[in-house]
Chain A
Amino acid sequence: MIKLIWLVPLLPLIGFLIIGLFGKKLSKSLVGIIGSGVVLGAFGVSLGIFLQLAEGAEQSTTIDLFNWISAGKLSIPFSFLVDPLSSLFLLIITGIGFLIHLYSTGYMHDDEGFSRFFAYLNLFIFFMLLLVLGSNYLIMFVGWEGVGLCSYLLIGFWFKNTAYNNAAKKAFIMNRIGDLGFLLGIVLIYVTFGSISYHDVFEQAKSLATGTPVLTAITLLLFVGAMGKSAQLPLYTWLPDAMAGPTPVSALIHAATMVTAGIYMIARSNILYTLSPDTMAVVAVIGVCTALFAATIGLAQNDIKKVLAYSTVSQLGYMFLALGVGAYTGAVFHVMTHAFFKALLFLGAGSVIHAMSGEQDIRKMGGLKKYIPITHFTFLIGTLAISGFPGFSGFFSKDEILAHAYEHNKVLWLVGVLTAGMTTFYMFRLYFLTFKNTFRGTHEQEHHLHESPKSMTIPLVVLAILSLVGGLVGIPEVLGGHHFLEEFLAPVFDDSHFRLVHHLSHETEYILMGVAISVMALAIYFAYKTYVTDKKLPAAEGDELQPVHKLVYRKYMIDELYEAVITKPLNFIGEGLHKVVDNQIVDGLVNSCGYVVNGVSGVIRKAQTGNIGFYVFVMVISIVLILFTQLF
C-alpha cells in the first residue's frame, strides 16, 4: 500500500485537471461525483497506509519518484516521506476534505461557479497533500505556496465583490511575509547542513549542541513562516477576513487543514526546535498571546463566521503553545480534534447561513433549534467539544496541552485556562444566541427556514461522531486510558522526547483537570445566565459601547494600526517615489531619449527624398569616397 502513495496526491490533481478543463461541459452532478470521488479515493489509499503503519510496518519510508532539481552539488529528488506524522495528516486532509466536498455539493449547488469551486478545492487538496508528503523542505514549500494560492482563489471566489477580493489580497500578502521567512529558513538550512531533505538535516542536527545560534536562527525563520500561514500574532489579521470565502472553504482551508500547516512544519522539524530552547520560548509565548488575544476579540463579535474565525486563531495559538512547551504529540492531537470540531462548527454555521438565506449576524437569529434540529444537535456537539466538555475530543487534547504547559511554566498554564474559559463562553454565547430563545429575524426569513439537504447533514453527523469519539485515541494514562496516538507518533518525536521527558504526578493531573472543568462549567453558566435567562442581546450596530468593549469589538484596532503604521507610510513612500523618481527622473530619461531621436530623425528624414536619381548620386559619391580611402 505504501508503494501506492503517489496515487494520493495524483488523484486530486487529476480531478482538478478534469474539472478545471472540462468543468463547463460536465453536468453539476458529474462534477460533484468526480470532485468528491477523487478525494475519497485518496482517502482510501491513505487509510490503507495508516492501518499498515499502525500494524507496525516500517515506520519511515522515503519513496523516490523522480529526480527533480539537479544543479551542481544541489540535488533534490521529488520524493515522498511516509511516516506516522504524514499519514495522520493524510487521513485528516483527505477524510475531512471528502466530507467537505460532499457538503459542498449541497451548499454550492445553486452557485454559477460550481465547477470552478470544485476545481479549486481539488487543487487545494493536491497541494496540501504535497505539503505533508514531501520528504524535503522544498516540496513542502511548493505545497505551502500552492495552498496559499488556492486560499487566495477561494477567498476571492466571488470575485465580483471588491471587499472579498481585498480580503483575498490581504491573505495573500500577509502570507507572503511569512513565506519569505520560511524561504530564508530553507536557504539557511541548506547553507548550514548542505541538504534540505528531512532525513539528512535531522541526522546532522542531532549532533549539534542545544542552543546553537544557527539553529535558533533557522527555527525562528521557519516560525515566521508558520506565523503567516497559521495566523499567529502579529500576522493573524488575514484569517478573520478570509471568511469572505464560501463556508466550506472556511471549514476546510481556514480551520481544518491549511492553517495547521505551520503546526505540521514545526512538528516535522521537532528536533531542530527541541535543540533551540529560545525559539521554543518564543513559540510558546506567541502562541499563548495569540490564544488569549483572539479569544477576547471572539467575545465581542456578532458575525457567526467571524466568531469561529477568531476561535480558530485562538485554537491555533493553543497548538503553538503546545509546540512551544514541547508537547508535539499534544499539538498534533489538537490539530486532529480541532479539525473535527472546527470543521463541524463551520459546516454547521454554513448550514445555519443556508437556512437563514445568507444572513450571518447572530443578533438576527435565535430559536433555530426547532427549525433545523440536525444542525442544532451537531452544532451543540461541536460546541461542547471545543469547550473541552469531559469525554468529548477537545477535552483530551486540551487537557494534554494544559498539563504540559503547567509542567513548563505556571503562567502559561494560567493564561491557557483563562483562554479556555473565554472560548467556552463565546462559543456558548454563539450557540445560545443562534439556537435558543425566539427567532429575531424577519418574517420572510422565518418562512424560509428549513433543514439543509442530506448531502450537507451527513457530513455534519459524521463529523459530530468524530468530535465525540476522536479524543479516544489519546486518553491520558491517568484516566486509565491508553495513549494510542502518542505511541503511534513516537517514532517521529522520539529524538525530542528523550530530551524533554518528565512527568507530573497523578494528583496534580487530577487537580489540573478539575480546574479546567470547573472554569468551563462556570463559563457555560455565565453564558446561559446572560443570554438565555436574562435574554440579553449584543449591542446593535451604532450603539454607544463601553470603551473596553468598543476596543474589543473593533478588534483592538489592529487593522487600523497596521493601516497607520505600515500601509500609510508605504503608500507615502510609494507616492513619493512615483512622483519624483518615476515621473521626473525615469520618465524624463526615457522621454528625452525619445525627443532626441525624434529631433535628429526629423532632420535626417529630409535626406529621404524618394528621388532615385539623388540616391544613385549619393551612392556613387560614397563609392568614390570608399574607394579613395581604401586605395590611396
Chain B
Amino acid sequence: MSAIQTIPINWYLLLSVVLFTIGVLGVLFRRNAIIIFMSVELMLNAVNLLLVAFSSYLSDSKGQVFVFFIMAVAAAEVAVGLAILMSVYRNSKSTDINDLSRLKG
C-alpha cells in the first residue's frame, strides 16, 4: 500500500510548487544571507520531492538517482557558500546582503 495508488500526482505537483514558492518568497522577503540560503535549500527540496514523485509514478529509478546528485551538489554548494558567508562576515561584520551592494563596479 502506498500513496501512488490513491493520490493523484497532481497533488504532489501542487505541493512542490507551493514549497518552491515559499522558498522564493523567503529569498525575496529576507535580507539575512543565511536565511536566503536556507530558502534556496527549500527550493531544491521542492524539486527533489517532485523528482521522487515522478520516479515512483513512472516506476523509473532514474529520478531518485538524480536526487542523489542534487544532494551532492547541494552539499558542495552549502560548504562553499557558507565559507563565502564566513569571509564576508569577517570583512563586514554582517550577513545582510544589502551590505554586499558595495561590490558594485
Contact = CB atoms under 8 A, between A and B. Distances in A.
Interface of A: 608-613, 616-617, 620
Interface string B5-24: 00000000000000000001
Contact of A610 (B24, B27, B104): B104
B interface SS class: helix
B28 A613 contact: yes
Contacts of B24: 620
Contacts of B104: 608-610
Interface of B: 24, 27-28, 31, 97-98, 100-105
Contact of B102 (A608, A610, A613, A617): A610
Contacts of A610: 100-104
A458 B101 CA distance: 84
A624 B104 CA distance: 26
A461 B55 CA distance: 104
A interface SS class: helix
A613 B31 CA distance: 7
B28 A612 contact: no
A609 B101 CA distance: 7
Contacts of A613: 28, 31, 97-98
24 contacts: A608-B104, A608-B105, A609-B101, A609-B104, A610-B100, A610-B101, A610-B102, A610-B103, A610-B104, A611-B98, A611-B101, A612-B97, A612-B98, A612-B100, A612-B101, A613-B28, A613-B31, A613-B97, A613-B98, A616-B27, A616-B28, A617-B28, A620-B24, A620-B28
A612 B27 CA distance: 10
Contacts of B101: 609-612
A242 to B, nearest CB: 58
B41 to A, nearest CB: 16
A622 to B, nearest CB: 13
Which 9 A-B pairs give the minimum distances between C-beta atoms? A610-B104, A610-B101, A612-B97, A611-B101, A616-B27, A620-B24, A617-B28, A616-B28, A612-B100
A609 B104 CA distance: 7
Contacts of B98: 611-613
A588 B57 CA distance: 67
Nearest to B100: A612
A620 B31 CA distance: 16
A612 B103 CA distance: 10
Given A610-B102, A612-B100, A617-B28, 13 more contacts: A608-B104, A608-B105, A610-B100, A610-B101, A610-B103, A610-B104, A611-B101, A612-B97, A612-B98, A612-B101, A613-B28, A613-B98, A620-B24
A564 B104 CA distance: 61
A611 B27 CA distance: 13
Contacts of A609: 101, 104
A619 to B, nearest CB: 9
Nearest to B31: A613
Contacts of B102: 610
Contacts of A616: 27-28
Contacts of B28: 613, 616-617, 620
A618 to B, nearest CB: 11
A609 to B, nearest CB: 7
A75 B103 CA distance: 62
A620 B28 CA distance: 9
Nearest to A611: B101
Nearest to A624: B24
Contacts of B103: 610
Nearest to B97: A612
Max chain B CB contacts within 10 Å: which of A608, A611, A612, A620?
A612
Max chain B CB contacts within 10 Å: which of A608, A609, A610, A617?
A610
